[in-house]
């Protein structure tokens, strides 16, 4: 079975804010149209290593992407390369490190910011390179890619929560309000995406500590939410999920043949 998938990675969104500040997402759970799972992110709890983990299923110690300054292409098969090999369309509105991992490295803003190239794993890309790039613009970028190119797999990756955490700390009104702003943005787009029968995953790479940073093993750095929405999921919130299973889960939803770790217990008709 083949579905279209949207993955929203809200950068730096820890479990507590993801659970407490997202009233629309929680309303979808209460209505039986979504489930919320707690993920314990792989280590170190840093962005680039965990983009690689989410998008390839490989933890940092195995991928070699163990800090943010590893500027090179991924050596793993990714959701983008698997989809492209199967003839599917891919798109991403994301931070430029995603372009560096899967398209071209290092990032050249003039060449790569707006990417249209069917030979690259991310065929349609709208990348940004300032951490304060506004989340509402980023969601518009993602929705524009969706409408214009009808991708089978679309990554939407806003940075506003992480940016607020670095400036004001994980236990700040600014951080929590950035999470609330993402909930509102999701409530703007998600109903239409679900009407069109997209399967939607909303999660994060890592959380944020009170010292305005992340990287270690504190619960506020390591625990992140995973919301699952769409007709292929059974919305059983008791199912445990690992961050390393997201790539395989998405590959299965896309109908791809793959050898990635997966989690069939999350799906309807798991047989």
Binding footprint of Zn ion on the chain (CB under 5 A): 12, 162
Shortest gap between Cβ of 179 and Zn ion (angstroms)? 14
Shortest gap between Cβ of 94 and Zn ion (angstroms)? 14
Shortest gap between Cβ of 225 and Zn ion (angstroms)? 16
For Zn ion, which is the closer residue by CB, 171 or 187? 171
Nearest to 265 by CA among 249, 251, 254, 250: 249
For Zn ion, which is the closer residue by CB, 90 or 204? 204
The whole-angstrom separation of Cα 132 and Cα 4 is: 29
For residue 167 the two structure tokens come to 């400036």
Nearest to 121 by CA among 144, 105, 135: 105
- 109 C-beta neighbours (distance < 10 Å), count: 12
Shortest gap between Cβ of 11 and Zn ion (angstroms)? 7
- Give the residue at shortest CB distance from Zn ion: 162
Shortest gap between Cβ of 37 and Zn ion (angstroms)? 22
DSSP secondary structure, 78-123, as one string: -HHHHHHHTT--EEEEEEHHHHHHHT-SS--HHHHSEEE-TTSSSS
For Zn ion, which is the closer residue by CB, 39 or 266? 39
For Zn ion, which is the closer residue by CB, 95 or 107? 95
For Zn ion, which is the closer residue by CB, 34 or 223? 223
C-alpha distance from residue 79 to each of 10, 82, 167, 245 (Å): 18, 5, 32, 12
Q: Is the alpha carbon torsion for 228, 136, 131, 90 positive or negative? A: positive
Shortest gap between Cβ of 115 and Zn ion (angstroms)? 24
For Zn ion, which is the closer residue by CB, 166 or 258? 166
CA angle 124, 128, 129 (to 5 degrees): 140
């Amino acid at each position: 079975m083949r579905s279209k998938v949207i993955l929203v990675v809200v950068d730096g969104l820890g479990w507590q804010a993801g659970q407490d500040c997202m009233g629309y997402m929680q309303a979808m759970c209460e209505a039986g149209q979504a489930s919320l799972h707690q993920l314990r992110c792989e280590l170190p709890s840093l962005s680039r290593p965990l983009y690689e983990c989410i998008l390839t299923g490989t933890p940092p110690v195995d991928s070699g992407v163990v800090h943010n300054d590893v500027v090179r292409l991924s050596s793993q098969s990714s959701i983008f390369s698997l989809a492209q090999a199967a003839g599917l369309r891919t798109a991403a509105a994301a931070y430029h490190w995603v372009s560096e991992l899967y398209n071209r490295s290092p990032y050249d803003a003039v060449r790569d910011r707006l990417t249209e190239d069917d030979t690259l794993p991310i065929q349609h890309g709208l990348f940004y390179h300032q951490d304060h790039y506004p989340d509402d613009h980023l969601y518009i970028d993602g929705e524009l890619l969706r409408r214009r190119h009808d991708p089978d797999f679309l990554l939407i990756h806003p940075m506003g929560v992480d940016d607020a955490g670095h400036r004001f700390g994980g236990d700040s009104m600014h951080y929590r309000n950035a999470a609330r702003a993402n909930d509102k943005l999701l409530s703007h787009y998600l109903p239409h995406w679900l009407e069109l029968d997209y399967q939607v995953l909303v999660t994060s790479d890592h959380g944020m500590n009170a010292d305005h940073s992340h990287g270690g093993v504190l619960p506020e750095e390591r625990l992140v939410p995973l919301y699952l929405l769409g007709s292929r999921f059974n919305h059983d919130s008791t199912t445990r999920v690992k961050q390393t299973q997201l790539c395989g889960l998405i590959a299965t939803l896309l109908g791809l043949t793959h050898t990635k770790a997966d989690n069939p217990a999350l799906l309807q008709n798991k047989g």
